[in-house]
Amino acid sequence: MMDNQDAPRSARPLHGMFTAVPPRYDLINHIITFGMDVGWRRLAARTCLKGNPPRILDIGCGTGDLSINIAKHASKETHITGLDYSQPMLDIAKLKAVKAGVTGRVTFITGDAASIPFPDDHFDCLGISFAFRNLTYNNPLCHPHLAEVKRVLKPGGRYVIVESSQPENRLIRSVSHLYLRGFVGPVGMLLSGNKGAYNYLAESARRYYLPRQVKGLLLAAGFRDIRYRALFFGAAGLHVAYK
């Protein structure tokens, strides 16, 4: 496998953006979702923990919120790994894990979702919170990302995805798009000073796939029994797929 640090820049199109994460990244996420992202990650964590899986991987873990949430409620036998290619984000995640008292339960490592540094059939569950869109929308490595997830999952293992979504209702979808363009983008830019990152966030969320299209993407990658739960009128959603 290619060493993640040596991967060509073209193979990691968003790397620079997420390496330049501002210290107020978490605060901005809470503001633009009115704090609902906390509950959505808690739901994803509970879904990951069903059946008491021994090994869980949080892909694109960012500043560690999903990993830490899982670790707080997991049994002592469960170990959680958080993987991200942004070292500044991982540095924040490690500090948060210390504060939460879960340093012995979760390990954060630098890595690329297109080349996950674990053997085949290794994890019982993979979770991802608000990074699935980055891995799949207009990303040349979309299919390698999904293939890697499937490779490291054990047969019967779960892939739990919480992500922004497109409301099925056209009126609600129009309101959601106005909110993304008129509030999320400008407020994110103002508070972070990172125009590119929050312009990307607003536009990629506005143009992202409908739930049935996400299901088709997962089916094409070889996953099965795909389930979807709309959150906040469909502005976000929880997808669960099985290997």
Residue 201 pLDDT grade (very low, low, confident, very high; cuts 50, 70, 90): confident
Q: What is the mean pLDDT of residues 24-30?
A: 76
Nearest to 66 by CA among 93, 28, 104: 93
pLDDT of residue 23: 63
Residue 12 has pLDDT above 50, yes or no: no
What's the rounded Cα separation, in Å, for the pair 192 and 185?
11
Average pLDDT, the chain: 88
Helix (H, G, I), strand (E, B) or coil at 116: coil
Q: Among 44-58, 73-87, 191-205, 211-225, name the one with the lowest average pLDDT.
A: 191-205
Q: What is the mean pLDDT of residues 186-195?
A: 75
Q: What is the mean pLDDT of residues 15-27?
A: 59
Nearest to 82 by CA among 100, 53, 103, 52: 103
Residue 9 pLDDT grade (very low, low, confident, very high; cuts 50, 70, 90): very low
pTM: 0.88
Nearest to 115 by CA among 89, 82, 157, 152: 152
Higher-scoring residue by pLDDT: 188, 143: 143
Where does the chain have alpha helices with state H?
15-19, 25-32, 36-49, 65-73, 87-100, 132-136, 142-152, 170-179, 185-192, 195-207, 211-220
pLDDT digits (tens, 9 = 90+) for 220-242: 999 999 999 999 999 999 999 99
Residue 5 pLDDT grade (very low, low, confident, very high; cuts 50, 70, 90): very low
Residue 161 has pLDDT above 70, yes or no: yes
What's the rounded Cα separation, in Å, for the pair 191 and 119?
40
Higher-scoring residue by pLDDT: 198, 120: 120
Residue 19 pLDDT grade (very low, low, confident, very high; cuts 50, 70, 90): low
